[in-house]
């Protein structure tokens, strides 16, 4: 399975710049890059009023559920999903095989503009992820300081 | 697979609780949520997408932050799957990107066929995602040990832990929080160990 490459400072800065530009152009509230497994990768814009970790998990689940529905009606893929609300709406656009771009915007704003600018933004994000993948195709992390003989130190039950 | 973010110094891993319907997967998450010792703000809300009768419809989701390893914040995302047979597509979706699995079996004698069916289903769903149960760390949890019709552990071991490589197994009574943290800590240990053995050392 294709997985997200290891991201360095430069990658995050580039991804963040794309999100910032997208927010400027669309006047949207928050933009997120999420892994299809449910992880939040990067975000820009308003974050205090939203639980972004949970939004990432649920948005990826909703997107994947819609993709399965697409297959059931003999569609290859629904490339994007739009959820219309009364105060806020959400637009999810596929970036590549492992990532999604999610935009949260005020409901009175034009979804057309969000869709129009999200497409090129998703392409820019995909290009940066390709660069990250090529830089370090099998990057890992050194966890050697962890004392694995004592797993109880990881999660402790309240006494 | 786990997300390593060098810029924000985060390691994010996904653990999925799998098993037959009404086996105690959601109860495991509820107990972890209620009893885990964290500093303020490190435990997220338990999100449950359930039907009106409290059966899991899509998944339950609990984000928690554990310790810092070499300056990396380790964020764990715990998921359950719906156990009912009809929700297989949903189970496949939740398994996407999984790093470790806790298989929660129901110890009651009459649930043995469902346990085996669910375990086989796990194997098949992983294969559909081009993953292999042999490559993914998992532990077995034999739940509901407090019930009078619980089968002997040896029998459960024979049915579920009979593959080429035996994995750690735990007895539990999830609603009393017995065996819950033992399973979670073991799966965490196993998957972190996997990253240690996979990764190339980084020198400052």
pLDDT band (50, 70, 90) for residue A68: confident
Top mean pLDDT of A3-17, A131-145, B61-75, B135-149 is at: B135-149
Whether ipTM tops 0.90, in short, is no
- Residue A81, beta-bridge partner list: A92
The torsion defined by the Cα of A51, A133, A14 and A141, in degrees rounded to 10, comes to 60
pLDDT of residue A22: 97
| Sequence-ordered list of residues with C-beta below 8 angstroms from that of A102, at least 6 positions apart, any chain | A31, A32, A33, A34, A55, A56, A59, A90, A91, A92, A93
* Residue A159 domain-assigned (yes or no): no
Closest partner residue to B72 (CB to CB) among A41, A54, A141 is A141
One digit per residue, pLDDT tens: chain B, 204 residues?
677 777 777 888 899 999 999 999 999 999 999 998 876 667 788 888 877 677 877 888 999 887 776 677 888 999 999 988 888 988 998 999 899 999 999 999 999 999 999 999 999 999 999 899 988 999 999 999 999 999 999 999 999 999 888 999 999 999 999 999 999 999 988 888 776 666 544 333
pLDDT higher than 70, residue A157: yes
**C-alpha closest to that of B17 among B54, B53, B52, B48:** B48
* Residue A62 domain-assigned (yes or no): yes
* Residue B114 domain-assigned (yes or no): yes
Residue of chain A whose Cα is closest to the Cα of B99: A37
Which residues in chain B are contacts of A142 at CB distance < 8 A? 70, 196, 199-202
| Sequence-ordered list of residues with C-beta below 8 angstroms from that of A74, at least 6 positions apart, any chain | none
Structural contact between residues B30 and B43, judged by C-beta atoms closer than 8 angstroms: no
Domain residue limits at B95 = 3-198
- Is 0.95 surpassed by the pTM of this model? no
**Residue A141 structure tokens:** 């992390």
**Inter-chain touch A145–B69, beta carbons under 8 Å:** yes
Domain residue limits at A62 = 9-153
* Residue A110 domain-assigned (yes or no): yes
Closest partner residue to B1 (CB to CB) among A3, A38, A68 is A3
**Residue B126 structure tokens:** 């992983």
Q: How far apart are CA B118 and CA B102, in angstroms?
A: 13
Which residues in chain B are contacts of A58 at CB distance < 8 A? 47, 49, 61
pLDDT band (50, 70, 90) for residue A148: low
Could you report how far apart the first and last alpha carbons of chain A are, in Å?
41
For chain A, percent helix, then strand, then coil, each to nearest 5?
A: 40, 20, 35
Closest partner residue to B97 (CB to CB) among A35, A142, A144 is A35
* Residue A111 domain-assigned (yes or no): yes
* Residue A36 domain-assigned (yes or no): yes
- Helices A52-72 and B88-95: crossing angle in degrees, nearest 10, is 130
User: Does B8 or A75 have the greater pLDDT score?
Assistant: A75
Report the percentage of chain B scoring pLDDT > 90: 55
CATH at residue B71 = 3.40.50.300
pLDDT of residue B41: 61
CATH at residue A134 = 3.30.450.30
Closest partner residue to A141 (CB to CB) among B4, B14, B98 is B4
Which residues in chain B are contacts of A152 at CB distance < 8 A? 181, 185
How many domains does one find in chain A? Answer: 1
Mean pLDDT of A28-44: 92
How many domains does one find in chain B? Answer: 1
Which residues in chain A are contacts of B195 at CB distance < 8 A? 140-141, 143
What average pLDDT is seen over chain B?
A: 87
Interface of A with B (CB under 8 A): 1, 3-4, 6-9, 11-13, 35-41, 51, 53-54, 57-58, 61, 64-65, 68, 138-146, 148, 151-158
């Amino acid at each position: 399975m294709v997985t997200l490459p290891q991201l360095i400072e430069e990658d995050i800065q580039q991804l963040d710049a794309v999100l910032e530009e997208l927010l400027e152009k669309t006047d949207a509230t928050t933009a997120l890059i999420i892994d299809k497994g449910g992880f939040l990768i990067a975000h820009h814009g308003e974050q205090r009023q939203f639980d972004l970790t949970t939004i990432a998990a649920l948005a990826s689940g909703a997107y994947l559920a819609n993709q399965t529905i697409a297959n059931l009606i003999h569609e290859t893929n629904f490339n994007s999903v739009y959820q219309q609300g009364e105060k806020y709406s959400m637009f999810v656009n596929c970036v590549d095989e492992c990532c999604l771009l999610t935009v949260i915007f005020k409901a009175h704003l034009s979804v057309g503009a969000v869709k129009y600018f999200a497409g090129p933004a998703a392409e820019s994000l995909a290009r940066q992820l390709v660069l990250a993948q090529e830089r370090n195709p099998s990057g890992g992390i050194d966890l050697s300081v962890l004392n694995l003989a004592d797993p109880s130190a990881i999660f402790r039950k309240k006494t | 697979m786990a997300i390593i973010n060098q810029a924000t110094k985060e390691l994010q891993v996904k653990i999925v609780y799998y098993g037959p319907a009404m086996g105690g997967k959601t109860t495991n998450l509820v107990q972890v949520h209620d009893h885990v010792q964290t500093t303020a703000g490190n435990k997220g809300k338990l999100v449950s997408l359930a039907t009106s009768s409290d059966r899991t419809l899509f998944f339950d989701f609990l984000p928690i932050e554990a310790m810092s390893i070499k300056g990396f914040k380790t964020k764990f995302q715990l998921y359950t799957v719906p156990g009912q047979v009809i929700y297989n597509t949903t189970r496949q979706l939740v398994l996407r990107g999984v790093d470790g699995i806790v298989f929660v079996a129901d110890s009651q004698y009459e649930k043995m066929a469902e346990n085996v069916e669910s375990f086989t289903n796990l194997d098949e769903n992983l294969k559909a995602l081009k993953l292999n149960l042999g490559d993914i760390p998992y532990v077995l949890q034999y739940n509901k040990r407090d019930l009078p019709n619980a089968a002997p552990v040896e029998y459960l071991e024979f049915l579920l832990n009979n593959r080429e490589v035996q994995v750690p197994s735990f007895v539990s009574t999830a609603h009393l929080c017995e065996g819950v943290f033992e399973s979670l800590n073991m799966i965490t240990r196993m998957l972190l160990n996997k990253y240690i053995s996979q990764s190339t050392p980084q020198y400052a």
